[in-house]
Amino acid sequence: MDIDTRTLTQAGLIGYVALVVASIVTGNPTVGLAVDIAFGVVSLLLGVVTLRIPVDNQLKYVAGGGFLLAGLAQFAELVVGDPTIGLASTLFLLGGLLGYLVLRRQTDAAPF
């Protein structure tokens, strides 16, 4: 059975937002940890999906790489505990998002 990556990505994003809301409402540190893990997983998923866009444009590598690096940096921050790595994760995510938005503007690619 083939997994629809668009549906999987959308479900991951919705689940992430639900976890963020639950973390804010409850203040539970375990839910906060789940949010951090979900951020890493969703970032990696966005990177893979973006890199699979069937266009010949270097921006897909900028966007996909930014998302992948954001996910990897998030997990590194969870292991090491250094907030500087968390900042790097956020910056990689912003780079990936910016690259993705420019890619969408230049092409009709919309994987999620």
Q: Which amino acid is at 83?
A: P
Whether 19 and 34 have beta carbons less than 8 Å apart is answered as yes
pLDDT for residue 81: 92
Instruction: Please give the model's pTM, rounded to 2 decimal places.
Output: 0.84
Nearest CA to 88 among 76, 99, 79? 76
Q: What is the pLDDT of residue 7?
A: 79
- Render each residue's pLDDT in the chain as its tens digit; 112 residues: 346 777 777 888 898 899 999 999 999 999 999 999 999 999 998 999 899 888 888 999 999 999 999 999 999 999 999 999 999 999 999 999 999 999 988 887 666 6
pLDDT of 107 reads 84
Which residues, 6+ apart, have CB-to-CB distance to 27 below 8 Å?
none
The per-residue pLDDT for 112 is: 61
At 1 the pLDDT is 32
Cα distances (Å, whole numbers) of residue 35 to 58, 87, 91, 100: 31, 16, 18, 23
> CA 74, CA 49: separation in Å to the nearest integer?
18
Instruction: Name the region of 27 (left: φ>0; alpha: ψ -120 to 50; beta: rest).
Output: left
User: Given this model, what pLDDT does residue 93 score?
Assistant: 95
Closest C-alpha among 66, 71, 68 to residue 101? 66
